Structure 1
Amino acid sequence: MTRLLRWAAAGGVILALNAASACSAPATAPAPSSQAPSVGPTRSAPAESWWRVGSVTGALASGLSTPWSVIPLAGGGALISQRDDGAVRELTAGGELRTVGTIPGVVSGGESGLHGIALLTAEDPAVLYAYFGSAQDNRVVRMPLLGDAGALALGEAEVVLDGIPRASTHDGGRLAFGPDGFLYITTGDAQQRDAAQDADALGGKILRVTVDGEPAPGNPWGTRVWSMGHRNVQGIAWTADGTMWASEFGQNTWDELNRIEAGANYGWPVVEGEAGRTEFVDPVAQWPTSEASPSGIAAVGDTVFMAGLRGERLWQIDTRSGEAAGEPVAALVGAHGRLRDAVALPDGSLFILTSNTDGRGAPRADDDLLLRVELVPEP
């Protein structure tokens, strides 16, 4: 195939990779499992810059069925995962919507199904990673992404990591390649609350692995676990200063935005929200569950954008040196219903996925939608 320049969403950091130019390793050779893959240059942003939602420039795609994750591609296209039918859809640069393929083995039910997708373009062809619920567990697979933009297809799936606990709720499921090139995986407690406090269990964690699913070098316990004590993380992103952030569903009281640090314990199920206990890390910001129920997040400069499901809004959280800088600001309140994902684009705008066909929303005529949202600098 003709090797194209593609943009891959990595938790809100936009990575540009071109096999014919900037990669430090040959494009035809996969990255060794003992180290991070070459990810090329990242989109730069001022060390300290804050942003606000401007205008919604329209729906790029409509009629999506339970969309969960979106990856921007070069030239204005995108890949979108659909939770309940396991399909990966391609939005072409010309605005057409087509099915790239269906992930084999997806078993949907409740909140489980096909969740996060992430794209590794340091290999030729590029490789799509997907997190989904199977009949036995949650797992991550990878597939070559074949063909050219506008006519992409999925190759044979290979299991990268299995054995992640699965349930009808609390399945986590976000994937993102971090600035270090390793794959980050969020898992829920899958209704096994105590698993979140078990360092040897995969549930209730953020995992950090190589492209082959092995523990990444430098992980705090020498296992795949990066952080623990999580209930249900569905969003991860990195601000311009390199800080990692995660959005987390609370139970009945508090939803959270957390600054993620290696080896840290975020308290679930012992605590929910701010507790002030030295053995646990308190959230940087928290919300009543009625105002958030957060899923995907994006970061532009030093502002985190957090999509709210039950809250039906996009939260804007300015940060400085790993802390909140001022009070969170809500945007798009009720305008588009439930919001599932937010992804930063290389032109400084956002993709926003709605989630009104997920069984908990009130679908509108054209739901679900992929929206493009302009951003403006905060003075």
Structure 2
Amino acid sequence: MDGRTQRVLLRKWSGISTLFLAAACGPGAVSESPEPQTQSAALFAGEPLVSAASGRCLDVAQESRTPGTGLQIYGCHGRVNQAFTFTAAGELRTYDNTLCVDTASGQTAQGTRAVIATCTGSPAQKWVLNANGSVVHTATGLCLDVEGARTADGTPVIVWACNGQTNQRWSRPSVPDTQAPTPPSNLVSSNLTCNSVTLSWTGSTDNVGVAFYDVYHDGQHVKSVDGNTRSTSLTVVPGVTWGWYVNARDAAGNVSQASPTLSLTPPQCQADTTPPTAPTQLSGSVSGTSATLSWNASTDNIGVTGYDVLRNGARVGTATGTTYADSGLAASTTYTYSVVARDAQGNLSPASNALTLTTGAACTNPICSVTQVTTDTDIPWGLVALADGTVLYSRRDAQDIVRLNPATGVKTTLGTVPNVQSTDGEGGLLGLAVSPSFDTDRWLYIMHTSPTDNRIVRMRVTPGFTLDPASHQVLVQGLLRNKFHNGGRLRWGPDGKLYASTGDAQNGANSQNTSNLAGKVLRINPDGTIPSDNPFGNLVWSYGHRNPQGLAFDSSGRLWEQEFGNSVMDETNLIVKGGNYGWPNCEGTVSQGGSGCATPGYIAPKRTYSTAEGSCSGIAIVRDVLYVACQRGTRLYREVISGSDLTNVTSYFVGTYGRLRTVEPTVDGNLWLTTSNSGDKDSIPNNSNERIFRVQLGN
């Protein structure tokens, strides 16, 4: 970006109009590609600093570019000598970010004139804008001061002992900062031990300045550090692999895209080759096509971490306690069970005694049978059942849509969705929904991540079941994206509106901003327009969500939602028009900030789950029973809707099929169920080994 172009960015305040290059580059506009930015450069030419005492602006005298020229206050006019930028390196730059604010001749004495100088990166050119409006010289601890507290044009600006008076307070005009920092880079680790690690990274750049770095693993926020920090020590768990990354955040709350992921597996704290003792006294009973097992606990020199349940010699489930329910078995069939204990280092005990059980002649259980219909090398994410009994599902990282004929197992590809880009995390090709009148209009609705945002589009499916590229329409765009927290589920309501779940894009502040579509449940007309009865005059239906991925309607037309928490608990919510569900101040029922879950107006969840037994993505409702598919919890919850409560909660398939992503009703009132076990936190296509099941329901 040349100086002439940057001067188009003249900011006019005090009632004068504002012109932004960003506006000029909006839809329908043409812009040049910006030149690469240096570490200390910013995209915009800077913003004014207004003296609280006089209302006049910090100004380079006579609009001179000569190093050594003094700073003064002068009536605000918006020219380039009144535009200043605090960089990520701590400098205060002006003149299109080409010159730095310094002290005259590098002096440190109180009363020294503030001047412009060639940028050198020296401590004398470092400044900090504090929340109270003071601008502090890092090298001396002195404040940027209007000499003698005078208010006339041309009054010199000096450094002086900080005293809190109005001639030492500066403010930005009411020009919004909407530019996110660049992503951090070069994330590396050091000092890795069994329980700690140090992460370091190269800092981001920002038009105003980076205020914080937020450190995550696998979508879970762990720690925040200030914008001048480039490394931090973190706690890890021995032997557990986590994918670490860092986001930059500025003072206005804009969050960068994430750094590349750094995968780390800490060593064990001590060698352990001693296996647990064998579980004893395995016993059980059968009810219809379900078996219930129990046993006596094992012991270990360090500690038993869980049990593997084996059916006919193959592992079919896991347990942390000493009971397990095995469901969906074949009728009138004999099975032999045993149980093995394991410790944190993977040492396995000898097997328990063998137990033989024979199922009943008929199913008398809520879950009757499970049939594997197909496998896939990519992650099945969105799934819809068509009236003809076939199924359409999206492949998240491969970015195409597949039609499955369950009767024959034959799969055909409809085609690739245009403009999809994954996020090296959980973004990509996400939710699907077919029009309520699909047989006549052939509209398929799709939610996906693009190179710049999350969006909702629709495309027609030809009678031969291919995607019609000419029909592609973008209905909703500009939904914030990030490595994780993209939401992505679509569901038609009984009111004929399309509902969509959006994540907070790893910035909890988005969730409470009803003018922002991130961290929300959206309600949309079929053509993408805003329904006239939406509560906030935009697409927002409910807010205060972190990363919602499950949506389903019950027989009363009420909307239920499933949401990922951070590190404490996940939640199931009953969504109401205009409702606020509390994130980021409230996670489930645990307060995390502000007045927390006691904040007036926050709506409590109907059920919560520990993250170890949750991390649930998809939900489905069949005959007013809610089914919840969980990933880390590796289970399917069955929960009876009774009034506004969820009752008779039961876990199924715990560890049987691994991480469960999506659950959807079949056209005949049963369930489709998909796994998400491999390649779940990267964007590499076809590096998975997933399964799609048909679950036959009973009473």
Distance apart, 1:60 and its partner CA: 1.3
Equivalent in the alignment of 1:146: 462
Asked if 2 retains the 8 angstrom alpha-carbon contact of 1:100 and 1:154, the reply is no
Asked if 1 retains the 8 angstrom alpha-carbon contact of 2:459 and 2:467, the reply is no
**Distance between the aligned counterparts of 2:505 and 2:688, measured in 1?**
32
Asked if 1 retains the 8 angstrom alpha-carbon contact of 2:379 and 2:688, the reply is no
**Distance between the aligned counterparts of 2:680 and 2:619, measured in 1?**
22
**Distance between the aligned counterparts of 1:121 and 1:184, measured in 2?**
13
Equivalent in the alignment of 1:374: 696
Distance apart, 1:64 and its partner CA: 4.0
Amino acid at match of 1:71: V
Asked if 2 retains the 8 angstrom alpha-carbon contact of 1:118 and 1:129, the reply is yes
Question: Does the alignment pair 1:60 with 2:376?
Answer: no
Amino acid at match of 1:312: T
Question: Does the alignment pair 1:283 with 2:283?
Answer: no
More contact order relative to length (CA 8 Å, sep ≥ 6): 1
**Distance between the aligned counterparts of 1:105 and 1:72, measured in 2?**
25
Asked if 1 retains the 8 angstrom alpha-carbon contact of 2:678 and 2:688, the reply is no
Residue 387 (structure 2) aligned to one of 65, 74, 79: 74
Distance apart, 1:262 and its partner CA: 0.4
Residue 507 (structure 2) aligned to one of 180, 183, 192: 192
Equivalent in the alignment of 2:416: 102
**Distance between the aligned counterparts of 1:82 and 1:366, measured in 2?**
11
Equivalent in the alignment of 2:582: 267
Question: Does the alignment pair 1:134 with 2:447?
Answer: no
Residue 176 (structure 1) aligned to one of 487, 491, 495: 491
Residue 305 (structure 1) aligned to one of 627, 630, 634: 627
Deviations 1:311-368 (CA, angstroms, capped at 9, x unpaired): 1100111111222234x2111111111111011112121000111123359xxx9931
**Cα distance, 1:301–1:238 mapped onto 2, change above 3 Å:** same
Question: Does the alignment pair 1:329 with 2:670?
Answer: no
Equivalent in the alignment of 2:668: 347
- Which structure has the greater CA radius of gyration? 2
Amino acid at match of 2:511: A
**Cα distance, 1:265–1:74 mapped onto 2, change above 3 Å:** same
Equivalent in the alignment of 1:120: 435
Distance apart, 1:94 and its partner CA: 2.7
- TM-score, with structure 1 as normaliser: 0.81
**Distance between the aligned counterparts of 2:417 and 2:577, measured in 1?**
31
**Secondary structure of 1:185's match?**
strand
Amino acid at match of 2:386: L
**Cα distance, 1:225–1:241 mapped onto 2, change above 3 Å:** same
Asked if 2 retains the 8 angstrom alpha-carbon contact of 1:59 and 1:371, the reply is yes
Deviations 1:14-38 (CA, angstroms, capped at 9, x unpaired): xxxxxxxxxxxxxxxxxxxxxxxxx
Asked if 1 retains the 8 angstrom alpha-carbon contact of 2:426 and 2:680, the reply is no
Q: Percent same amino acid among aligned pairs?
A: 38
Structure 1 window deviating more from structure 2 (120-129 vs 264-273): it is: 120-129
Amino acid at match of 2:513: D
**Secondary structure of 1:290's match?**
helix
**Distance between the aligned counterparts of 2:558 and 2:672, measured in 1?**
21
**Secondary structure of 2:612's match?**
helix
Amino acid at match of 2:631: L
Asked if 2 retains the 8 angstrom alpha-carbon contact of 1:243 and 1:322, the reply is no
Deviations 1:106-148 (CA, angstroms, capped at 9, x unpaired): 1112111010011014263410111111010000110011124
**Distance between the aligned counterparts of 1:268 and 1:214, measured in 2?**
27
**Distance between the aligned counterparts of 1:282 and 1:190, measured in 2?**
22
Amino acid at match of 2:446: A
Deviations 1:178-229 (CA, angstroms, capped at 9, x unpaired): 1111000100000121010001001000000101111123211121100000
Asked if 2 retains the 8 angstrom alpha-carbon contact of 1:139 and 1:161, the reply is yes
**Cα distance, 1:213–1:321 mapped onto 2, change above 3 Å:** same
**Cα distance, 1:303–1:91 mapped onto 2, change above 3 Å:** same
**Cα distance, 1:366–1:95 mapped onto 2, change above 3 Å:** farther
Deviations 1:295-315 (CA, angstroms, capped at 9, x unpaired): 110001221101001111001
Structure 1 window deviating more from structure 2 (262-271 vs 73-82): it is: 73-82
Equivalent in the alignment of 2:277: none
Distance apart, 1:63 and its partner CA: 2.2
Asked if 2 retains the 8 angstrom alpha-carbon contact of 1:107 and 1:134, the reply is yes
Equivalent in the alignment of 1:30: none
**Distance between the aligned counterparts of 1:278 and 1:289, measured in 2?**
26
Distance apart, 1:75 and its partner CA: 3.3
Structure-to-structure mapping, 1:157-176, within 5 angstroms = 157-176=472-491
**Distance between the aligned counterparts of 1:345 and 1:164, measured in 2?**
30
**Secondary structure of 1:141's match?**
strand
- TM-score, with structure 2 as normaliser: 0.45
Asked if 1 retains the 8 angstrom alpha-carbon contact of 2:679 and 2:688, the reply is no
**Secondary structure of 1:179's match?**
coil
**Distance between the aligned counterparts of 2:377 and 2:572, measured in 1?**
28
Amino acid at match of 2:382: S
Question: Does the alignment pair 1:314 with 2:636?
Answer: yes
Equivalent in the alignment of 1:35: none
Equivalent in the alignment of 1:24: none
Asked if 2 retains the 8 angstrom alpha-carbon contact of 1:319 and 1:325, the reply is yes
**Distance between the aligned counterparts of 1:234 and 1:366, measured in 2?**
21
Amino acid at match of 1:147: P
Asked if 2 retains the 8 angstrom alpha-carbon contact of 1:273 and 1:282, the reply is yes
Equivalent in the alignment of 2:563: 248
Distance apart, 1:239 and its partner CA: 1.3
**Distance between the aligned counterparts of 1:180 and 1:61, measured in 2?**
34
Amino acid at match of 2:442: A
**Distance between the aligned counterparts of 1:191 and 1:330, measured in 2?**
30
In structure 1, runs of 5+ residues without a counterpart are: 1-50
**Secondary structure of 1:357's match?**
coil
Asked if 1 retains the 8 angstrom alpha-carbon contact of 2:492 and 2:498, the reply is yes
**Distance between the aligned counterparts of 1:231 and 1:313, measured in 2?**
22
